[in-house]
Amino acid sequence: MPKVEDTEENFALCLNEQCGKCPSFPGVEGEALYCARGRSAGKVQRRQCICPDCPIWIKYGQGRTFYCDQ
């Protein structure tokens, strides 16, 4: 499984198209792209994880979910 690149392009895609729309998104300003940057500094209420629908998740062959909380 390749490491997800922490780029501005990936961050913007993630925030606007994935993490920002996730039911479990903790809403901490400036956070997203948890698969590259690590877990959230905020409290995550696990409702549903949409990581498997993310083009970044698919491109990099990720296998986990709830990156925001792990």
pLDDT at position 1 over 90:
no
Which domain range does residue 45 map to? 8-69
Residue 16 counted as domain residue:
yes
Residue 1 DSSP one-character state: -
pLDDT at 2: 73
- In three state form, how does the secondary structure of 19-48 look? HHHCCCCCCCCCCCCHHHHCCCCCCCCCCC
User: Could you read off the pLDDT of 12-70 as tens digits, one per residue?
Assistant: 999 888 998 999 999 999 999 999 999 999 999 999 999 999 999 999 999 999 999 98
Stated pTM of the model: 0.90
Residue 2 counted as domain residue:
no
Residue 3 counted as domain residue:
no
User: How far from the centroid of its chain's Cα atoms is residue 39's Cα?
Assistant: 9
Cα torsion 49, 51, 54, 58: sign: negative
Q: How many domains does the chain fold into?
A: 1
pLDDT at 25: 94
Alpha helices, DSSP H, located in the chain: 8-13, 34-37, 55-59
Cα(39)–Cα(70) distance, integer angstroms: 5
